[in-house]
Chains A and B, each alone.
Chain A
Amino acid sequence: AQSVAQPEDQVNVAEGNPLTVKCTYSVSGNPYLFWYVQYPNRGLQFLLKYITGDNLVKGSYGFEAEFNKSQTSFHLKKPSALVSDSALYFCAVRANSNTGGFKTIFGAGTRLFVKA
């Protein structure tokens, strides 16, 4: 079955420290992987994606993610966290649909708290 797992409900980090939000996936074929961020009562905003190429992907707001095929992981990272990074983060994977197109499967989300 195609799925995405975010094992941590919540991640707490102090401002200025590095942060990691974990994601593992299960999908047939080559994975197309995404990270999104959601602020309260808003839609999701795209951060970055991996399709092919370099395993380290750089995205918006200083975030990056590392694709690891052997561990089927796509962890989100940032070298120095900001209080404004506090939000809900979703990992997602492109999956095949029954109609021949594609759909996006999201993880359950990880809430990031950055303390000043």
Chain B
Amino acid sequence: SQTIHQWPATLVQPVGSPLSLECTVEGTSNPNLYWYRQAAGRGLQLLFYSIGIDQISSEVPQNLSASRPQDRQFILSSKKLLLSDSGFYLCAWRVGQGTEAFFGQGTRLTVV
């Protein structure tokens, strides 16, 4: 069966420090991968999505970047965190056109 792993679950980082959040999917091939941010426990904002290795699309300009070095690995990064980067980050995957997305457990990032 397919599973998605996202870590760490929580992270507290100082302003100006780098960031690396990792997401891996098991049990499927060539998934579409997504990074979302959820602020204040409400709506989800799509940050990045990827349809294949090294194919990344950015939805909104921001202080973050994403990479997909392997088929089932999706990494969210920042060189210098801002206070406004705090939030709940969710990784998701889907396969196929009409299928639902499956989400990781999320990472709560607090920038102090």
Write the residues of chain A forming the contact surface with B, with a CB cutoff of 8 angstroms: 32, 34, 36, 40-46, 49, 51, 88, 90, 92, 94, 97-109
- 0/1 string, B13-56, CB within 8 A of A gives 1: 00000000000000000001010100001111010010100010
Interface contact B32-A101, CB-CB below 8 Å: yes
- Indicate if B7 sits at the interface (CB-CB under 8 A): no
Contact B108 A41 (CB under 8 A): yes
Cα–Cα, bound, A14→B49 (Å): 39
Contacts A99-B51, A108-B42 known; 13 new A-B pairs at CB < 8 A:
A36-B103, A41-B108, A43-B105, A43-B106, A44-B44, A44-B101, A46-B100, A92-B101, A94-B98, A99-B55, A103-B49, A109-B42, A109-B43
Category for how many chain B residues contact A: 20 to 34
CB-CB nearest in chain A for B96: A102
Give A47's nearest chain B residue, CB to CB. B100
Interfacial residues, chain B to chain A (CB-CB below 8 A): 6, 32, 34, 36, 41-44, 46, 49, 51, 55, 57, 59, 88, 90, 92, 94, 97-98, 100-106, 108
B92: chain A residues within 8 A (beta carbon): 43-44, 104
Q: How far is the CA of A45 from the CA of B92 in the complex (A)?
A: 11
